[in-house]
Structure 1
Amino acid sequence: MNDIIKSIEAENSERRNSFPSFKAGDTVNVHVKITEGNKERIQQFQGTVIQRRHPNSNGETFTVRKVSNGIGIERIFPLLSPSVEKVEVIRKGKVRRARLYYLRGRQGKAARIKEKL
């Protein structure tokens, strides 16, 4: 039983290393595989990372928030999911928290995050 778990963790560690390092406050572009019928395409979801949950575990997830037509949209992505093709870091954010839930109540300029130089 332990051998099976160790082999799966070894596979996942290789996949985890293929992603760039990012944290809450960073703006990322997530490439997601979408299946419609028998067709498969890649869709991009660009937004700000609000949180990362269970870092360095196999069940790690991250939440990305964007505002589209004045409506806030949040998606939770499992990091090691086969549907997540790749993650690109657009810009690094300068924040002092690990969870940025306060962005949900802000709009426009108040929702901006300073860029790390």
Structure 2
Amino acid sequence: MAGFLSMQTDDERIASFSPGDTVQATVRIKEGNRERSQVFQGWVLAISGSGLAKSFTLRKIGSHGIGVERTFLVASPLLEKVEIVEKGRRARQSKLYYTRDLPQRQVRAKLKKRN
């Protein structure tokens, strides 16, 4: 039974990504009696859990330099698709919480892909 449930989460709508990658998540949002899609783009701060409980956290810098974080459940039916915008360089930690305290310029330099 557990194997069947974990197979359902492996979907083509979700790309394979790792912490440090810049990702674009499209989510369905219900406002009143109508639905619309909203795009949230940011770098992957953390991936946690497995199977149906797997989730990931994205962080972006919003207007006026305020950081915005959002956590998405991979198995959520509201999550339409996840696309990789830019692959970051391989992070040494699995949780990039230390980037919360850094200025945006330093975060970009740390996560920038090296050729």
Query: Which interval holds the TM-score relative to the shorter structure?
Result: 0.7 to 0.9
- Number of the residue aligned with 1:101: 97
| Shift in alpha-carbon separation, 1:97–1:6, aligned structure 2, 3 A | closer
- State whether residues 60 and 78 of structure 1, in contact with CA within 8 Å, keep that contact through their aligned partners in structure 2: yes
Aligned to 2:54: 60
CA distance in 2: counterparts of 1:85 and 1:17, whole angstroms: 11
Q: Percent identity?
A: 39
Contact 1:92 1:116 in 2 (8 A): no
Match runs of 1:1-117 below 5 Å = 2=1, 7=4, 9=5, 13-18=7-12, 19-55=14-50, 57-69=51-63, 70-94=65-89, 95-112=91-108, 113-115=111-113, 117=115
Count how many residue pairs are aligned between Structure 1 and Structure 2: 110
CA contact (8 A) 1:50 1:100 kept: yes
Q: Which runs of 5+ in 1 are unaligned?
A: none
Q: Which has the larger radius of gyration?
A: 1
Mapped to 1, the partners of 2:82 and 2:99 lie a distance apart of 22
The Cα of 1:16 is off from its aligned counterpart by 2.0
Q: TM-score, normalised by structure 2?
A: 0.87
**What's the TM-score once normalised by structure 1's chain length?**
0.86
